[in-house]
Amino acid sequence: MENKEVLDELKTILVERLKFDPRRAADTGFETALPKGLDGSLGLDSLDFIEMSIAIEERFGLVLDEREDLAPHFESFNTLVRYITARMARE
């Protein structure tokens, strides 16, 4: 799966699972920060990240190890897409 396809799937997760406005999701890109408190970020909180993690596991067939510090992977769409594609390549 190409990076753009993964990004599009993540945008779909934002709309369907996290109930984001589709126009707002469409305006995001690889550089968009995810956690709240960062300039220009989507403002996701800890519950959003849990919901997103579950959706990622379901959509991409991955198991995210809760013992691993996943925060660096959820900094932006770019870091998350790279993490998912690398994991899919190993699976």
Asked if residues 71 and 63 have their Cβ atoms less than 8 Å apart, the reply is no
Q: In this structure, which topology does domain 3-21+32-38+50-90 adopt according to CATH?
A: 1.10.1200
Q: What pLDDT is attached to residue 79?
A: 97
Q: What pLDDT is attached to residue 67?
A: 87
- Residue 69 neighbours by CB distance under 10 Å: 7
Q: What pLDDT is attached to residue 90?
A: 87
* Structural domain boundaries in the chain: 3-21+32-38+50-90
Indicate the Cα dihedral angle 1, 57, 10, 23, nearest 10°. 150
Q: Which residues, at least 6 apart from 74, have a Cβ–Cβ distance to it below 8 Å? A: 34, 35, 44, 49, 52, 80
Q: What pLDDT is attached to residue 1?
A: 86
Q: What pLDDT is attached to residue 85?
A: 97
- In the predicted model, residues of the chain with pLDDT beneath 50 are none
Q: Is 2 left (phi over 0), alpha (psi -120 to 50) or beta?
A: beta
Note the pLDDT tens digit of each residue in 19-37: 999 999 999 999 999 999 9
Q: What pLDDT is attached to residue 77?
A: 97
C-alpha Rg value of the chain to the nearest Å: 12
